[in-house]
């Protein structure tokens, strides 16, 4: 089994943020000196970084699940939790990162290029950070946010100056072995090469790399014969070299038809790349079909192959492509070929756009306006049909969903703080605009996994509504009776007793019943 892995699916997870801390500072003569709960630490990110020492994705193929460390919870005495360290994953140069839907996240080219694929969660705030003029000693804290979890696909696209393409067993591996120090596996059966081989060639003062791409067959642009897995290694090459087998015994094949077939597959694959491939300003490279072509007629050490090479040379030159007759086995014609490829590579390097590095440019910071009347709401509200609860009002927005994740619903004061945040953010106003009324069901987040509750319009909060730490009188109204209320309740009870006695006296006067204590035996 080859150890070269050029495509893996990686399951990454950022670290969870640590929870905040609820604590009250105590010292001598100051038993309640105010809140001192610290914030939780942030979770670590998962970062992909280009490392020139890494050439394969084999380690991620064997262990595809990677997660960053979590942040630690906050502590008392104003101590903040420790942030989780970023998990840096080294990847080879030329790695393309895609999400689960197939969209390109990043194209990592150049040493040091990096991208964050899974962000860590934000640490929760402690009660010291939540203290305010109205809430002087909060009895709750905010929870840490969970880290981002996603699935990304890593693909390697070989970075080489020259790409050798052709049919299987055309002699590409033998050619790269003859021109460089690379020693790929060479055999006389098709599809000997299953992974690209790289070789370094020196021609005078020019040094360039050559990629031996596995053999292509008709239908490769549609995935036949793993064509799509092989064709992507050609995208970054500056020069394309057609290696044509002049000694093949397969019926229906000749150098001209092989050239036309491979060119048709390259054109079909260029069409699959989309409009981005045709725009050199976006890719920094010449479109695939506009790159220089070189034809190599291989195996001319065979007499019949040499005659065929002489026969097709004029037809190929008529298509404005340079032709070289070589023999990888006999090492003939390799030196002129290496210098010709060096000249094409130098031209491609000179015509390549220089990297835009403007150190003099200064960042422009434009802070968002505060208090504008046309400011966009923090959430959108729309009625939906819930699969289990029926008609509900769904609230979607980054801030409300984050606030829900940060709330400890076992603490009434934390729930009251969430209600205040939703009201201050304009969520309740949006609910009223959508037609919601008190008692309606409201869903914050997605239909699966969101928080569902019965909505009651929030009363204006104040110190008088804040009870003991960890409680909120709006949620659990445990009101203590005043003396006036007790007196009124006592008078109502006494009035009810007197009314019952009066009713009994009236019934006795009417003879409806007799008092047993006044009954005499002589009355029989």
Q: Bigger pLDDT: 148 or 299?
A: 148
Q: What local confidence, expressed as pLDDT, does residue 153 receive?
A: 92
Most confident of 48-52, 104-108, 375-379: 48-52
Q: What local confidence, expressed as pLDDT, does residue 283 receive?
A: 56
Q: Bigger pLDDT: 352 or 163?
A: 163
Contact 341, 202 (CB under 8 A): no
Q: What local confidence, expressed as pLDDT, does residue 227 receive?
A: 59
In the chain, pLDDT over 70 holds for what percent of residues?
83
Q: Does residue 360 carry a pLDDT above 90?
A: no
Provide the β-strand partners of residue 242: 165, 295
Q: What local confidence, expressed as pLDDT, does residue 4 receive?
A: 63
Q: What is the pLDDT of residues 8-29, one digit of tens each?
A: 999 999 999 999 999 988 888 8
Q: Does residue 461 carry a pLDDT above 60?
A: no
Q: Hey, how many other C-beta atoms are within 10 angstroms of the C-beta on 22?
A: 25
Residue 45's pLDDT band, with cuts at 50, 70 and 90, is very high
Q: What local confidence, expressed as pLDDT, does residue 358 receive?
A: 47
Q: What local confidence, expressed as pLDDT, does residue 80 receive?
A: 94
Q: Does residue 92 carry a pLDDT above 60?
A: yes
Q: What is the pLDDT of residues 440-451, one digit of tens each?
A: 888 998 888 888
Which run of H or E residues covers position 152? strand 149-156
Which run of H or E residues covers position 408? none
Q: What local confidence, expressed as pLDDT, does residue 57 receive?
A: 86
Q: What is the pTM of this model?
A: 0.72
Q: What is the pLDDT of residues 239-250, one digit of tens each?
A: 888 888 888 777
Q: Bigger pLDDT: 211 or 153?
A: 153
Alpha carbons 228 and 509: distance in angstroms, whole number: 109
Q: How far is CA 112 from CA 51, 90, 94, 116, 488, in A?
A: 7, 10, 12, 13, 79
Q: Does residue 142 carry a pLDDT above 80?
A: yes
Q: What local confidence, expressed as pLDDT, does residue 154 receive?
A: 92
Q: What local confidence, expressed as pLDDT, does residue 494 receive?
A: 94
Residue 103's pLDDT band, with cuts at 50, 70 and 90, is confident
Alpha carbons 428 and 460: distance in angstroms, whole number: 13
Q: How far is CA 2 from CA 70, 194, 204, 386, in A?
A: 36, 8, 34, 51
Which run of H or E residues covers position 344? helix 334-351
Rg (CA), the chain: 39
Question: Closest Cα to residue 123, out of 83, 68, 87, 86?
Answer: 83
Secondary structure (3-state) at 439: coil
Residues 6+ apart with CB under 8 A from 214: 168, 191, 193, 194, 195, 196, 226, 230
Q: What is the pLDDT of residues 285-302, one digit of tens each?
A: 777 788 888 898 888 888
Across the chain, what does the average pLDDT equal?
Answer: 82
Mean pLDDT of 374-398: 83
Q: What is the pLDDT of residues 320-343, one digit of tens each?
A: 888 888 888 888 888 888 898 888
Mean pLDDT of 357-367: 60
Which run of H or E residues covers position 66? strand 65-67
Ordered strands of the 87-91 beta sheet: 87-91, 46-50, 114-118
Which range, of 109-118, 236-245, 277-286, 431-440, averages the lowest pLDDT? 277-286
Q: Bigger pLDDT: 497 or 187?
A: 497
Mean pLDDT of 312-317: 86
Residue 357's pLDDT band, with cuts at 50, 70 and 90, is very low
Q: State whether the Cα torsion 396-400-402-405 is positive or negative.
A: negative
Q: Does residue 230 carry a pLDDT above 70?
A: yes
Q: Does residue 94 carry a pLDDT above 70?
A: yes
Alpha carbons 99 and 348: distance in angstroms, whole number: 32
Q: State whether the Cα torsion 225-226-228-230 is positive or negative.
A: negative
Q: What local confidence, expressed as pLDDT, does residue 37 receive?
A: 92
Alpha carbons 7 and 5: distance in angstroms, whole number: 6
Q: Does residue 522 carry a pLDDT above 90?
A: no
Q: What local confidence, expressed as pLDDT, does residue 374 receive?
A: 54
């Amino acid at each position: 089994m080859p150890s070269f892995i050029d495509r893996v699916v990686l399951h990454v997870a950022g670290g969870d943020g640590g929870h905040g801390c609820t604590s009250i500072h105590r010292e001598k003569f100051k038993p309640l000196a105010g809140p001192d709960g610290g914030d939780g630490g942030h979770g670590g990110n998962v970062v992909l970084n280009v490392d020139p020492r890494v050439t394969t994705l084999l380690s991620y193929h064997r262990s595809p699940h990677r997660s960053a460390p979590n942040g630690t919870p906050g502590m008392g005495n104003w101590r903040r939790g420790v942030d989780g360290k970023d998990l840096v994953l080294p990847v080879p140069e030329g790695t393309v990162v895609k999400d689960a839907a197939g969209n390109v996240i990043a194209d990592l080219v150049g040493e040091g290029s990096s991208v964050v694929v899974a962000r860590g969660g934000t640490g929760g705030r402690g009660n010291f950070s939540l203290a305010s003029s109205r809430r002087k000693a909060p009895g709750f804290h905010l929870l840490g946010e969970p880290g981002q979890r996603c699935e990304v696909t890593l693909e390697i696209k070989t970075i080489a100056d020259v790409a050798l393409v052709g049919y299987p067993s055309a002699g590409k591996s033998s050619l790269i072995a003859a021109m460089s120090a690379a020693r790929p596996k060479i055999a006389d059966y098709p599809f000997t090469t299953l992974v690209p081989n790289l070789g370094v060639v020196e021609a005078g003062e020019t040094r360039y790399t050559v990629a031996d791409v596995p053999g292509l067959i008709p239908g490769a642009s549609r995935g036949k014969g793993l064509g799509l897995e092989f064709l992507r290694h050609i995208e970054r090459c500056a020069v394309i070299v057609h290696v044509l087998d002049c000694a093949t015994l397969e019926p229906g094949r000749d150098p001209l038809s092989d050239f036309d077939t491979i060119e048709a597959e390259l054109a079909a694959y260029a069409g699959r790349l989309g409009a981005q491939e045709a725009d050199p300003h976006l890719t920094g490279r010449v479109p695939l079909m506009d790159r220089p072509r070189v034809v190599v007629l291989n195996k001319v050490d065979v007499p019949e192959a040499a005659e065929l090479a002489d026969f097709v040379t004029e037809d190929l030159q008529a298509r404005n492509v340079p032709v070289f007759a070589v023999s990888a086995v006999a090492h003939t014609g390799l030196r002129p070929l290496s210098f010709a490829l060096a000249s094409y590579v130098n031209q491609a390097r000179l015509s390549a756009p220089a990297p835009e590095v403007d150190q003099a440019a200064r960042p422009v910071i434009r802070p968002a306006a505060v208090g504008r009347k046309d400011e966009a709401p923090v959430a959108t509200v729309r009625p939906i049909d819930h699969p289990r609860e029926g008609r509900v009002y769904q609230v979607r927005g980054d801030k409300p969903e984050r606030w829900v994740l940060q709330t400890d619903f076992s603490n009434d004061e934390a729930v009251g703080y969430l209600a205040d945040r939703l009201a201050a953010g304009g969520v309740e106003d949006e609910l009223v605009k959508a037609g919601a009324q008190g008692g309606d069901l409201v869903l914050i987040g997605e239909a699966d996994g969101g928080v569902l509750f019965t909505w009651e319009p929030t009363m204006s909060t104040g110190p008088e509504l804040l009870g003991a730490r960890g409680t909120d009188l709006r949620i659990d109204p445990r009101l203590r009776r005043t003396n006036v209320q007790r007196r009124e309740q006592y008078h109502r009870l006494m009035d009810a007793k007197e009314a019952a006695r009066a009713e009994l006296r009236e019934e006795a006067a009417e003879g409806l019943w007799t008092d047993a204590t006044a009954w005499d035996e002589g009355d029989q």
